[in-house]
Amino acid sequence: MKYLKDKVTLVTGATRGLGKGIAIGLGEAGAIVYITGRSLDRSNAGDKISGSLRETQAAVEAAGGICIPVQVDHSNDEQVRLLFERIQDEQNGKLDLLVNNVYSGVQALKDANGKPFWDFEPNLWDACNQVGLRSHYVASIFAARMMTKHNSGLICTISSWGGMSYIFGAAYGAGKAGCDRLAADMAVELKKYNVASISVWPGIVGTEHISLMVSEIEQTNANNKQTSLMSDRYNWETPLLTGRVIAKLASEANIILRTGKVQIVAELAQQYGLVDQDGNLPVSLRSLRFVLPSVLPALRQYSSLIPDLKIPWSLLLISTLKSPKN
């Protein structure tokens, strides 16, 4: 069902990975999908696993959408401004959905993996958060100027469980917590214009970079308790699941009721009755069906017998947000 037909959407950072999956999910719903990235085609792709805007365009159109690729470096505010001017001119000022996804910190995080933050120069922060948290803020400014004029719209900022607990280090965690705060505070200011702002948390997503990292773990036999979840590909999500969830969010008539909140991809997929590209429905990372087998790997083969009960947010916050007075 093309429930986003004629809806104008923008996904930043969509040459590969999560952004590509989101764009395809919107295409399945019949949306007009603008996509951005630095590589228009394979000839100027950055590394061996980089995709291109043309490849994503083909996939979105094959799924049933209309796709418009725009080459943009999101560290350049002028290029971002011109992007939104183009959308405004081509779509008569209309923008229904912005997905803040672009992120350039993957390689830096990979290089820093397992080492403390002080072992690196301060520019690790910029690598993680300039094309990430800052670029989300910039894109949201231009999107909000369009959306508030029409008293409708949705801004989805892709964040992570790393905004609540340690995953990839201090620079990453601070950036993701910042994404959640950005989404929440934008929601306060946008609500009177009927524009919603939410933070979206995928689970463990099998992107090209994550898959490559797991392959390297397997080749070097560097597997340990911390990496076993990755190498076993336990409860992985495909990027398309996030795309399908966001497409459903964008179709909700009362999306403003969700504004300012964190939305969990796996939990929304369960509510909407969605599956990922492989026909699976991974569980939330706060589900006992994920948590118990994570602690006791021997339980993974019996995971279907474990109740899909969610750990309350109040307990998660108590365990992760320690009081400075302690």
Active site amino acids: 172
Q: Cα 53 to the chain's mean position, in Å? A: 17
Count of Cβ atoms closer than 10 Å to residue 124 Cβ: 20
Query: Judging by beta carbons within 10 Å of its beta carbon (0-12, 13-18, 19+), is residue 78 exposed, middle or buried?
Result: exposed
Cβ-proximal residues to 314 (8 Å cutoff; 6+ apart), any chain: none
Count of Cβ atoms closer than 10 Å to residue 150 Cβ: 14
What's the CA gap between 262 and 276, in Å, rounded? 20
Amino acid at 278: D
Q: In what order do the strands lie in the sheet with 8-11?
A: 66-71, 32-37, 8-11, 97-100, 153-158, 195-201, 262-264
What's the CA gap between 207 and 107, in Å, rounded? 13
Would you put residue 237 in left (φ > 0), alpha (ψ -120 to 50) or beta? beta
Give the C-alpha distances (Å, rounded to integers) separating 257 from 227, 263, 297: 38, 12, 38
